[in-house]
Amino acid sequence: MKCEALLRLMRTCDLFLAVFLVSLWSFCLSRVGFAETVVIGADADALPMGHSVALEATVTLDNGAPGVGYVALPYANVRRWGSHETTDGRGKATFLLPLPNPGPVRLQVLAFPAKDSAVSEWIWVGPPKDNQTVYMATQFSVDDTVRKTTLFAVSDDRSEVFLNGHRLGDANSWQKTTVFAGIEGLMSKGVNTLAVIGSNSSGPAGFLSRLEVETAKGVSVFRSNGSWKGWTEAPPAWPTPKCDEGSAVTVVGRADQGVWAATMSDWPEMQHFSDLLVGTVMPDRGIKSNTVSIKVSYRTFPTPEPSDRLVCIQWEPWFTPSNAYWQTAEAVPVVGYYDSYNRDVLRQHILWFMDLGIDFIMPDWSNHIWGKQHWDERPDSTNDSNLQSK
Ligand SMILES: [Ca+2]
């Protein structure tokens, strides 16, 4: 119906007017879904230190629809503070933010559009071994002329990448994404083959890729996953093997989980992990909310009555960049992904302990000296600069 109307328009109107209207229509379509605002509100404007304020953020698109599935990150005095949340079907995310420091606090929320729910997976051939070389490949069909192709790849430790038999180059980092752009000339309509020689020096091993293929019909994404085939020796016709003959690769994990996600900051499918960490300064990205100001007052604690019963809590101060990673945690703490030695985190923990009537704490970092006969045998992580400096 729209096409018929357009044809009639082009027959009867000036051609330039029609071109202008089509351009305007395309522009309007491209604007649909573009996020416009984040508005926040709090349930209090003053509270005692260590108490929590309830904060609600609402993401609204410029067409008035709710911004669903946005990642919302709260900030206190322009530093990350509090759990990160995803906006619901009404475009809303709610936070319970404990505020440990007396004085004025300016709260803001940054929102980022949700990434694809599907992510690429780290793959390998069998269990990782030291000084190992493996061969992995996938075949996929493209049913239209290819306009643009981009490959994103990460490897632990190294990979040599081939597209339809042509060597694209190496992806030799597990911390930084290697991008192969402008490779559409190597693509063809029909079946294409992406092949990788993976090498592992020691420890964990994996390869991660995302291939974006643009045609007139849109962008198709081909991810590394369990559909790939793997070999321990180069198969016949390498690097364009028949992929119906290999064994399935081993799926090591999702791109946004596991040990690699802790340091890989530029993978296109992932929220920048560093943005989630407590204490990080607000970046100049994302959609910024209004500011809500809260006055946090100082308070004193009564001296406990003498008692023949003492309450102790075991406290695990092991969340540091070189020890436990939050990517493997099943939940997000109320204060967010924290460093145990962040001053605000320590202060809030102590305020909670005091309100709970805890008499003393037992810090546990025994994992650092587990199984050792002597203090001098302690591992490097015991001497973490975070522990020493704080
Ligand atoms: Ca390795």
Cβ-contact 375, 369 below 8 angstroms: yes
Q: What is the pLDDT of residues 66-75, one digit of tens each?
A: 999 899 999 9
Query: Which amino acid makes up residue 347?
Result: R
Distance 200 CA to ligand 1 centre (A): 5
Predicted local confidence at residue 31, as pLDDT: 43
Predicted local confidence at residue 279, as pLDDT: 94
Q: In terms of pLDDT, which residue wins out, 245 or 236? A: 236
Distance 129 CA to ligand 1 centre (A): 8
Predicted local confidence at residue 123, as pLDDT: 96
The chain-wide mean pLDDT, for the chain, equals: 86
Distance 127 CA to ligand 1 centre (A): 12
On the question of pLDDT at 314 being above 90, the answer is: yes
On the question of pLDDT at 12 being above 70, the answer is: no
Distance 157 CA to ligand 1 centre (A): 5
Instruction: Look up tokens 């993978």; give the residue.
Output: 267
Distance 276 CA to ligand 1 centre (A): 26
Distance 124 CA to ligand 1 centre (A): 11
On the question of pLDDT at 302 being above 50, the answer is: yes
Distance 163 CA to ligand 1 centre (A): 24
Distance 126 CA to ligand 1 centre (A): 14
Predicted local confidence at residue 322, as pLDDT: 59
Helix (H, G, I), strand (E, B) or coil at 375: helix
On the question of pLDDT at 4 being above 60, the answer is: no
Taking Cα atoms as reference points, which of 389, 378, 382 lies closest to residue 363? Answer: 382
Distance 176 CA to ligand 1 centre (A): 14
Res. 281 pLDDT band, cuts 50 70 90: very high
Q: What is the pLDDT of residues 118-162, one digit of tens each?
A: 789 999 999 999 999 999 999 999 999 999 999 999 999 999 999
Q: Where are the domains of the chain?
A: 2-31, 121-262, 299-389
Q: What's 121-262's CATH class?
A: mainly beta
Cβ-contact 246, 139 below 8 angstroms: no
Predicted local confidence at residue 300, as pLDDT: 95
The HSE-up count of residue 262 (CA atoms within 13 Å, CB side) is 15
Distance 135 CA to ligand 1 centre (A): 16
On the question of pLDDT at 383 being above 90, the answer is: no
Distance 206 CA to ligand 1 centre (A): 8
Distance 254 CA to ligand 1 centre (A): 17
Distance 181 CA to ligand 1 centre (A): 26
Predicted local confidence at residue 246, as pLDDT: 85
Please state the rounded mean pLDDT for residues 36-50: 96
Q: How far apart are CA 365 and CA 334, in angstroms?
A: 22
Distance 173 CA to ligand 1 centre (A): 10
Please state the rounded mean pLDDT for residues 272-278: 80
On the question of pLDDT at 385 being above 80, the answer is: no
Q: In terms of pLDDT, which residue wins out, 385 or 192? A: 192
Helices (DSSP H) in 165-282: which residue ranges?
273-276
Cβ-contact 179, 123 below 8 angstroms: no
Phi, psi of 273 (to 5 degrees): -60, -35
Distance 155 CA to ligand 1 centre (A): 9
Cβ-contact 325, 262 below 8 angstroms: yes
Cβ-contact 213, 142 below 8 angstroms: yes
On the question of pLDDT at 371 being above 80, the answer is: no
Q: How far apart are CA 232 and CA 200, in angstroms?
A: 12
Cβ-contact 75, 275 below 8 angstroms: no
Query: Which amino acid makes up residue 363?
Result: P
